[in-house]
Amino acid sequence: MELTVLGCSGSYGAPAGGACSGYLVRTAQSTLWLDCGNGTLANLQRHGLVEDLTALVITHWHPDHCADIYGLHVLLKYGLGRSGVPVYAPEGTEARLATLVDGDWGGIFAWSAVGDGDATGVGDCDLRFSRTAHPPPTMAVEVSADGKRLVYTADTGPDWSPEAFGPGADLVLSEASFQGNSGPVGANAIHLAARQAGERAQAAQARRLMLTHLWPGLDPNASVVEGSEAFGREILLAAPHQRTRI
Ligand SMILES: [Zn+2]
Ligand SMILES: [Zn+2]
């Protein structure tokens, strides 16, 4: 399994091409796109053919995780003449996003609503979903293939942990929007600080941890130091176009 970061800027786009959340997961037989935040469709086209897309997963309907579905819709409909592309997203996402296409996706996508504890097979991948601590219905996703497990936390506050998928994921790709006490990371928070991401990945016995979704303007090196201390060893930091073997 290979993970390519299409964008990793937290909540809004960063300077110099810093797209929002999007990840390409390639396995022997499948190409999955996890979150299509603003800027990620452009970056996707640098790393592969949209024609090869097996399925799209949208973790929640915040624009930084789904805005590029509109560009994808146009490309599939008018550029590629492709329809029925599978999309997995929380209940209500299809209808909510459809307001900008006059309520009709024209059959371009085959929508499947996913909820807490759901599991499904896509190509040679097994997907599992877990509801995180984030206001709109938000699903963390585990991708299993080639004997490896990737857990993507989506957006979450501290009241959820990748332990929900069981211990020992090969890579936990965790949001880490804030640092220390710099952001609203206390009770009822809707995002994590780097330390909290490290603690939760450590408790889930993750083999490796990659931080993502950092708030633009924060010093990423400080997040890495904070997250590493909590995780107990070196961690990875997501960067646009970075490829990682899992
Ligand atoms: Zn976000
Ligand atoms: Zn969000």
CA–centroid distance, residue 95 to ligand 1 (Å): 20
CA–centroid distance, residue 155 to ligand 1 (Å): 6
CA–centroid distance, residue 119 to ligand 1 (Å): 23
Model confidence pLDDT, tens digit, residues 27-74: 999 999 999 999 999 999 999 899 999 999 999 999 999 999 999 999
Question: Whole-prediction pTM value?
Answer: 0.97
CA–centroid distance, residue 117 to ligand 1 (Å): 21
Please tell me the number of the ligand nearest to residue 60's CA: 2
- Which among 119, 18, 36 has a CA at the least distance from the CA of 72? 36
Model confidence pLDDT, tens digit, residues 118-163: 999 999 999 999 999 999 999 999 999 989 999 999 999 999 999 9
Sign of CA dihedral 100, 120, 75, 69: positive
